[in-house]
Amino acid sequence: MTSKTSDQRLMLELLANENSRDILCLTSKKEYSANQLSNELDIAPATIYRNLKNLELAGMIQVVKTIMDNHGNEEKYFRCSIRRIIIDINGKLDIRSENEDLGNSIIRLWKRISRS
């Protein structure tokens, strides 16, 4: 199995998972920490972390900021990094995603302000 095939399989598995879909939908609107996702979706933190790890491996979500508290604990905030998934079935299955560059928070802020 090629790397592309395994990446496509992982992406399909994640899209078939209701928790992963819910995480993608929420994080497509704004950034969330794992704790916030757990509270918002009423899902156990371990399940959230497992889904976030898989979504990150698939390139469907990424960490946009990390906050460290006074005790040295890190809290990562995640954002959906895909805007569209295209599935073509024409003799073979081909899955492509259109990703959004989340590196520039100023552009994200400007887009958010301009929608208000």
Chain segment 87-97, per-residue pLDDT in tens? 888 888 777 77
CATH class, domain 3-115, is mainly alpha
Contact, 27 vs 42, CB < 8 A?
no
Confidence check: pLDDT of 105 > 80: no
Q: What are the sequence ranges of the domains in the chain?
A: 3-115
How far is Cα of residue 39 from the mean position of the Cα atoms in its chain?
17
pTM score of the predicted model: 0.76
pLDDT at 116 over 70: no
- Please give the Cα distance from 44 to 39 (Å, whole number): 8
Contact 34, 50 (CB under 8 A): no
Query: How far is it, in rounded angstroms, from Cα 96 to Cα 30?
Result: 23
Mean pLDDT of 54-71: 90
